[in-house]
């Protein structure tokens, strides 16, 4: 059977009109895994759908143990719709918010997102996040409302009550979609509707489904379904209106094929010349065009080595091709090309435009790389909505494992760009930073289990930021030999500009003119935007000088000094964010020997630090949105858990038979929250947290926290003074 499916897929991949590239995304526990099992079984990929989870998607051991899906895995399947066979490439996405980066990358590869929502719980925070991730990438949503069996059999709802509930889920999802798309410049309607066929209902557990088109086809309406479900005749329900058919029909009918999708998506994700031949080749999904392949995932196969998975936007991938990898100098040679058939990769002769391919040989690629047969403007960097907020040290228990550990950590960083790895070969103590406690826990477990390297890990430590709060005076930075001087000011960068840099809308990778336009659009004035010399993190460096001799040759060192100053801020050596640094004037020694690295770097670094201090720099801490669902009598305990953590409760309201408590709290205080809330509410609460950026810490907490961080880092505890420099 497997061989037959592989053959079918190979035939179909040359017909882009019959391909659908889709993702399934959901809030944790809403039924994504169970639905995926249904689809695979329905497509004949597996005999017993119970096997599916194990075989196909949850390939990593820790996923099976935790019962959550962590890595985006891929599977291709076929489905007959209106007498035509279709190839459906499905990318699985993780359900836990700590792994948001994986979801965003998966969305780059697909054109449609099937959003699963639990009928009882309704839209939840992660539903909102996945919708936003899809819409940002121009991916079309459709809705599957799951666990409808519970409304019928468990909650014993009548037809009216049930209809009301289902309509309110659809209404909520559409409100979210409208809120996210009203600023978009195209006229497309992104909302979902029952009449339009973009909403289906059903039970992934009992394998039945229903939609407007399915009712017309099978003659089964909601009344019939309620009757059979109530009578416990679920097998019959499954036979008469199988979920996989209902959902796969919806996928084929309503999700765009690559030929329809790419003309809309390319302008959104690629900022190269829209009038070029290459742009046209991508728009029309030209399989004979230049190769353009966007890598969305890197994974490790014990036999084949590193596998790069991604979307072919133009041309055809073939073994032996020499391809450029964005951000690197040389070319890589494709050693094999293939399709993912569940957890297994099948090698094929070629993979043409419009498909999701899995290749080996791209040793320089990382998740997010643009790989192409001609040099080209890379795709927009994939937006990672959250930045790392928590760090943990990792150390090999045995020094013999050190080289292997370093290699593994480098691999981890390559596979998941939302993980930051800092390697310290001297001390052997490496730092990994990620989205939350669970994120880091899973990474360390993989190192121990998959690589067999026993490690010691430190306590999780929160990552802070430093940012200026006002405009500084002009500061002079003098080199140790006193022959070079730099005159610098610092001011806070406007929020909108910070945001557009974080989203990759303005970066040093793009052509100057485009960068200038993007920054102006975000609110930077025209003169300043013309003098942008460098962007580092979310900081912008402006060169306002004119005609200074030797400055050009020295600029590289100036930037090095600037980056050092920004990587380790003056307060607690945490990264600086959101600052606009201006170079107003400079004096440089005639002779290059006297303006080398040892002179220029410290002069600039000190000037930037002192200007930051004069600009009233403050410590920022990461915060999280917290939502707790809890029975009425535990509501006080739940809100107390937020308030007791320097948090704030913003809203409390009834939803179904539960109370919802919403608020925010600092990440630092949230460590250990899981066990505390469990005991405070006798295990009756379910909760969800989501990173919500950085916030200036209260003035009265600043000195203590700064001292604590400085002590931990072995720095002098007195704060640097800037008085001498003005
Ligand atoms: P995921 O976290 O989104 O992948 O969710 P799972 O597919 O693992 O499902 C979470 C839990 O909900 C499991 O215990 C499933 O058995 C259960 N579940 C999934 N779909 C349904 C359904 O349609 N009806 C009912 N009653 N339970 C379901």
Q: What is the ipTM of this complex?
A: 0.99
379 CA distance to ligand 1 middle (Å):
36
277 CA distance to ligand 1 middle (Å):
47
The mean of the pLDDT values for the chain is 87
117 CA distance to ligand 1 middle (Å):
11
Mean pLDDT computed over 539-564: 95
Q: From 381, 659, 342, select the one nearest 505 (Cα to Cα).
A: 381
Cα gap 239→532, rounded to integer Å: 64
The pLDDT of residue 187: 65
Q: Known binder of ligand: residue 703?
A: no
Q: Known binder of ligand: residue 26?
A: yes
Mean pLDDT computed over 297-325: 89
CB 473, CB 399: distance < 8 Å: no
Beta bridge partners of 391: 433, 461
At residue 617 the predicted structure's pLDDT band, cuts being 50, 70 and 90, is: very high
Cα–Cα distances (Å) from 343 to 2, 72, 359, in that order, read 13, 11, 14
Q: Known binder of ligand: residue 148?
A: yes
**Which ligand 1 atom minimizes the distance to the CA of 204?**
23
Q: Known binder of ligand: residue 254?
A: no
349 CA distance to ligand 1 middle (Å):
38
CB 147, CB 204: distance < 8 Å: yes
At residue 85 the predicted structure's pLDDT band, cuts being 50, 70 and 90, is: very high
Token readout for 340 is: 């993912």
202 CA distance to ligand 1 middle (Å):
12
Chain centre distance of CA 255:
22
Percent of the chain with pLDDT over 90: 54
Residue 353 clears pLDDT 50, i.e. is over it: yes
The secondary structure of 435-448, three-state, reads CCHHHHHHHHHHHH
Q: Which protein residues are within 6 Å of ligand 1, measured from CB?
A: 26, 28-34, 69, 95, 146-147, 149-150, 203-205
Cα gap 398→401, rounded to integer Å: 6
The pLDDT of residue 67: 34
Q: Known binder of ligand: residue 32?
A: yes
Among 26, 30, 34, the mutation site with the greatest number of ligand 1 atoms within 8 A of its Cβ is 34
CB 404, CB 451: distance < 8 Å: yes
Beta bridge partners of 659: 630, 654
Cα–Cα distances (Å) from 301 to 344, 590, 718, in that order, read 10, 56, 50
Q: Known binder of ligand: residue 28?
A: yes
Q: Known binder of ligand: residue 352?
A: no
CB 113, CB 130: distance < 8 Å: yes
Mean pLDDT computed over 321-349: 85
The pLDDT of residue 72: 37
The pLDDT of residue 482: 95
**Which ligand 1 atom minimizes the distance to the CA of 34?**
7
Chain centre distance of CA 478:
42
Mean pLDDT computed over 636-657: 91
Cα gap 171→187, rounded to integer Å: 20
At residue 697 the predicted structure's pLDDT band, cuts being 50, 70 and 90, is: very high
Token readout for 368 is: 């997010």
For the chain, what is the largest distance between any 2 Cα atoms, rounded to a whole number of angstroms?
92
Cα gap 310→109, rounded to integer Å: 6
At residue 186 the predicted structure's pLDDT band, cuts being 50, 70 and 90, is: low
Among 31, 70, 97, the mutation site with the greatest number of ligand 1 atoms within 8 A of its Cβ is 31
**Which ligand 1 atom minimizes the distance to the CA of 27?**
3
The pLDDT of residue 61: 47
Range of lowest pLDDT (370-374, 436-440, 505-509, 707-711): 436-440
**Which ligand 1 atom minimizes the distance to the CA of 206?**
23
- pTM, two decimals, is 0.69
Residue 97 clears pLDDT 80, i.e. is over it: no
- HSE of 213 in the Cβ direction (CA atoms, 13 Å)? 19
Q: From 409, 415, 417, 420, select the one nearest 385 (Cα to Cα).
A: 417
Q: Considering only CA atoms, which residue is closest to atom 19 of ligand 1?
A: 31
**Which ligand 1 atom minimizes the distance to the CA of 69?**
4
Residue 96 clears pLDDT 70, i.e. is over it: no
Percent of the chain with pLDDT over 70: 91
The residue ranking higher by pLDDT, 206 or 717, is 206
């Amino acid at each position: 059977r497997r061989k037959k499916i592989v053959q079918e897929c190979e035939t179909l991949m040359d017909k882009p009109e019959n391909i659908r590239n889709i993702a399934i995304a959901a809030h944790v526990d809403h039924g994504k895994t169970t639905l995926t099992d249904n689809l695979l079984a329905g497509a004949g990929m597996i005999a017993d759908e119970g096997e599916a989870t194990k075989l196909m998607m949850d390939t990593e051991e820790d996923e099976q143990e935790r019962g959550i899906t962590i890595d985006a895995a891929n599977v291709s399947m076929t489905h007959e719709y209106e007498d035509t066979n279709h190839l459906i490439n499905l990318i699985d996405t993780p359900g836990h918010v700590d792994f948001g980066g994986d979801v965003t990358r998966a969305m780059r590869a697909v054109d449609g997102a099937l959003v699963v929502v639990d009928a009882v719980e309704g839209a939840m925070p992660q539903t909102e996040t996945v919708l936003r991730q899809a819409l940002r990438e121009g991916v079309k949503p459709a809705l599957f409302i799951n666990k409808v069996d519970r409304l019928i059999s468990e909650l014993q709802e009548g037809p009216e009550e049930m209809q009301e509930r289902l309509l309110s889920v659809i209404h909520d999802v559409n409100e979210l979609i409208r809120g996210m798309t009203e600023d978009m410049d195209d006229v497309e309607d992104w909302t979902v509707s029952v009449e339009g066929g973009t909403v289906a209902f059903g039970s992934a557990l009992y394998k039945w489904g229903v939609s407007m088109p399915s009712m017309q086809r099978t003659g089964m309406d909601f009344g019939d379904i309620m009757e059979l479900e109530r009578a416990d005749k679920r097998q019959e329900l499954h036979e008469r209106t199988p979920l996989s058919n209902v959902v796969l029909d919806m996928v084929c009918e309503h999700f765009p094929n690559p030929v329809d999708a790419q003309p809309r998506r390319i302008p959104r994700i690629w900022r190269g010349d829209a009038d070029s031949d290459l742009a046209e080749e991508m728009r029309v999904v030209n399989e004979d065009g230049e190769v353009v392949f966007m890598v969305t995932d890197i994974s490790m196969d014990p036999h084949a080595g590193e596998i790069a998975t991604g979307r072919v936007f133009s041309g055809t991938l073939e073994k032996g091709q020499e391809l450029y990898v964005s951000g690197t100098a040389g070319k890589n040679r494709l050693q094999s090309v293939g399709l993912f058939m569940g957890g297994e990769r099948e090698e094929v002769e070629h993979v043409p435009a419009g498909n999701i391919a899995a290749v080996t040989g791209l040793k320089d690629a990382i998740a997010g790389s643009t790989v192409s047969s001609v040099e080209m403007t890379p795709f927009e960097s994939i937006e990672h909505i959250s930045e790392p907020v928590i760090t943990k040290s990792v150390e090999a228990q045995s020094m013999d494992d050190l080289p292997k550990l370093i290699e593994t950590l480098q691999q981890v960083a390559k596979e998941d760009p939302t993980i930051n790895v800092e390697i310290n070969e001297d001390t052997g103590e490496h730092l990994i930073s990620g989205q939350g406690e669970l994120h880091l826990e899973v990474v360390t477990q993989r190192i121990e289990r998959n690589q067999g390297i026993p490690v010691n890990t430190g306590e999780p430590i929160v990552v802070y930021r430093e940012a200026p709060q006002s405009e500084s005076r002009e500061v002079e930075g003098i080199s140790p030999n006193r022959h070079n001087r730099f005159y610098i000011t610092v001011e806070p960068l406007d929020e909108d500009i910070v945001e557009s840099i974080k989203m990759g809308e303005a970066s040093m990778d793009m052509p100057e003119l485009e960068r200038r336009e993007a920054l102006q659009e975000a609110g930077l004035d025209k003169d300043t935007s013309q003098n942008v010399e460098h962007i580092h993190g979310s900081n912008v460096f402006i060169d306002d000088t004119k005609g200074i001799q030797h400055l050009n040759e020295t600029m590289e060192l100036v930037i090095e000094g600037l980056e050092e100053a920004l990587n380790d801020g003056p307060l607690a050596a945490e990264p600086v964010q959101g600052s606009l640094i201006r170079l107003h004037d400079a004096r440089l020694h005639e002779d290059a020997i006297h303006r080398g690295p040892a002179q220029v770097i410290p002069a600039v670094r000190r000037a930037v630090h002192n200007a930051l201090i004069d600009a009233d720099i403050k410590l920022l801490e990461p915060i999280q949105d917290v939502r707790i669902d809890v029975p009425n009598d535990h509501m006080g305990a739940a809100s107390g858990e937020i308030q007791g953590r320097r948090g704030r409760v913003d809203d409390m309201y009834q939803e179904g038979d539960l109370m919802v408590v919403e608020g925010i709290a600092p990440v630092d205080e949230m460590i250990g929250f899981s066990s505390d809330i469990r005991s405070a509410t006798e295990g009756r609460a379910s909760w969800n947290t989501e990173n919500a950026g950085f916030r200036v810490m209260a003035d009265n907490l600043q000195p203590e926290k700064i001292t604590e961080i400085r002590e931990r880092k072995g720095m002098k505890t007195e704060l640097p003074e800037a008085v001498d420099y003005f």
